[in-house]
Chain A
Amino acid sequence: MLIAILSLGLLGTVLGFGLGLAAKKFHVAGDPLAAEIEALMPGSNCGQCGFPGCPGAAAAIAAGSAPVTACPPGGKALAQALAARLGIAIDLAQVADAGPQIAAVAEEICIGCCRCIKVCPTDAIVGAAKQIHNVMREACTGCGNCVERCPTEAVTLQPVAVTLQHWIWPKPLAAGH
């Protein structure tokens, strides 16, 4: 009895010291996981997640303080990639994907001030001083920076309409399961 307690206690102490030393010796300064997650993210620093840019969100996701579904422009695809990287299970049905949105300029209110162009992270807005601006649909991520910047409320976010090419069969309702 005594021998067992002593030997296990000794073993525990030795291994504990070993672990403690290893933690000091192999300490990593930055978080490589955060860098890896940042590489997966869109990188537009749009701020929709509420963190200061993509690096901030990546650090929070790596630390576990933000969900993998935090990035609205990344959508389900990014959430899935992040979950696979972090080895956690997510239910995609729970992802609040409000559907893609893109900015649109109301031509009759736009005064051509160029302010939205400057804040667009993907250079998706074209225009010049005193000319009506326009949004290139393919480049817009729907981050909404331009909406806040517009002095005349000419820029609004519009949901992208579902087309035949993008329509998805609904998942069957599982009966009896």
Chain B
Amino acid sequence: MGLLERFFAPRHPAWGVHPDDRKRPAADAPLRRLPLPERLYVPLQQHVGGAARPVVLAGQKVRKGDLLAEAQGNISAPVHAPTSGRVLAIGEVTAPHPSGLAQIAITLASDGEDRWGERDPVADPFALAPEEIARRTAAAGVVGLGGATFPAAVKFNLGRRLKVRTLIVNGGECEPYLSADDMLMRERAAEVVDGLRIVMHAIGAGNALVGIEANKPQAIAAMRAAAAPCGDVAIRVVPARYPMGSDRQLIETLTGLEVPADARAAEVGVLVHNVSTCAAVHRALRRGEALVERILTVNGGAVRAPGNLLAPVGARVADLLAFTGLHGEPARLILGGPMMGSVLPHANVPLVKGASGILAFDAAEAAVPAAGPCIRCGSCTRACPMGLLPLEMAARIRAGELAAAVDFGLSDCISCGCCAWVCPAHIPLVQYFSHARGELAAGERARLRNAATRRLVEQRSERLAREAREKAAAAAKRKAERDAAKARAAAVTRAADAAAAPLAEATP
């Protein structure tokens, strides 16, 4: 590196933003375990893909880790009992989703014993076939815990099929306020490293790169210590820049590879898994434990004692907030980070596997400035990590020209929110994109439905024609039979006449 580059090379990537991270003091508070709530509400859909199908009945007794609902379809994940107790009901509860709509969940009454059911730990996962690791990971209900909640085992099989060389482990955690992955790496570095080595074995990768943002020095030290004996695992420090935790940006920063717009990461020879997912894989294999609890950050101005909690899936957000305490009523509740998380309708929603944090904002944090007109400053185009033109896309969407927005690259948008964060006019750009995506998906569904309707109509007219043909054929057959019977009768009469005639002649 020449002297000039040393001084003038950019300190950080050209994309992205650097919001005030506000991770402390929550990140420094010790990890606490949420006292077991009396009731747990386990949604059937906590992952991308088909909802799980319940295999328990109301009234049934279950132990911790028992299967509550099985995976349904190729891309799906099962859900397990987060504690021991009795199934109270299977019915609708409010989903942790901005719409406030209901989703089906299994309600569990805890018996307070928190007793594990049958577990099937593996002493040496590296002796197992990769398929078996994928099967066990799938059976434990492990999904991507970085937020995407894609079933982990499906990704393993994809990685093996596409012959992935490098496993990238995402310890970026670039969202402000969140420190759950940071806490996990500090507390359970050995589990993360063992988990990622199991994942390497499952996907057939030769080496692993762990990307951790520079603002987590303790996590970096812990992970380096844990990974020291493994030559094929490298811990890399990446600049603290939002959205470093997005897979495409992390891959580019760590390997220099750019994933093409219409391709998956596996197609350039890498696969990304989150540190929490790796730890869950470790528990699924080494301890035979299903994914029933996770570390998450409870933070925000309205929280009295912010910090990281170990909480069971299915605990209500209200239970968490009651444990940490609140300064008055929070002005806004968010599931996930402030940049990409979703606003919650109220605190009476269950925690899901993908919940990396619960943020309770006070009025100052939740204030949204009124949107003004776009002044075409281009800040959003500089911030966009995908190299898109958010202002142009939003203008098209505002005018209802969704196809034009797609031409501007709407489908490459990762909804990271950088554009809206930098926008001096406070235009809710990401909401435009989410709206357009929803409309496009609805249009596609309607198109498929129309095609299906056409097919049904064609099949019906074919059926009607066939029935008419069959009716005509049956009628013709009956007529022919009648005619034949008549002809036979006539022939018999004629024969009788013929037989009688000579007699008649002979008699006189």
Binding site for B on A (CB under 8 A): 42-45, 73-78, 80-81, 84, 91-93, 121-124, 138-139, 141, 162-164, 166-172, 174-177
Contact = CB atoms under 8 A, between A and B. Distances in A.
B36 to A, nearest CB: 28
A164 B97 contact: yes
Contacts of A121: 456-457, 460
A146 to B, nearest CB: 14
Interface in B458-475: 458-460, 463
Interface string B423-455: 001011001101100110111111100101110
B453 A141 contact: yes
A176 B371 contact: yes
Nearest to B447: A77
Interface of B is mostly: helix
Given A93-B400, A168-B439, A175-B372, A122 B453 contact: yes
B450 A167 contact: no
Contacts of B443: 76-77, 80
B400 A91 contact: yes
Contacts of A73: 450, 453
Contacts of B432: 171-172
B452 A138 contact: yes
**9 nearest interchain CB pairs?**
A168-B438, A77-B446, A122-B456, A169-B434, A176-B373, A77-B443, A167-B99, A42-B453, A169-B435
Interface of B: 45, 95, 97-99, 101, 103, 370-373, 397-398, 400, 403, 425, 427-428, 431-432, 434-435, 438-439, 441-447, 450, 452-454, 456-460, 463
Contacts of A171: 397-398, 431-432, 435
Given A42-B457, A123-B463, A162-B101, A74 B446 contact: yes
A70 to B, nearest CB: 14
A45 B463 CA distance: 16
Nearest to B454: A43
A92 B457 contact: no
Contacts of B456: 44, 121-124, 139
Contacts of A169: 98, 431, 434-435, 438
B372 A176 contact: yes
B370 A175 contact: yes
A164 B459 CA distance: 32
- Quick one: which of A44, A93, A163, A172 has the most chain B CB within 10 A? A172
Contacts of B463: 123
A92 B452 CA distance: 23
Contacts of B441: 168
A174 B400 CA distance: 12
Contacts of B371: 172, 174-176
B453 to A, nearest CB: 4
A151 to B, nearest CB: 22
A92 B445 CA distance: 16
Contacts of A139: 452-453, 456
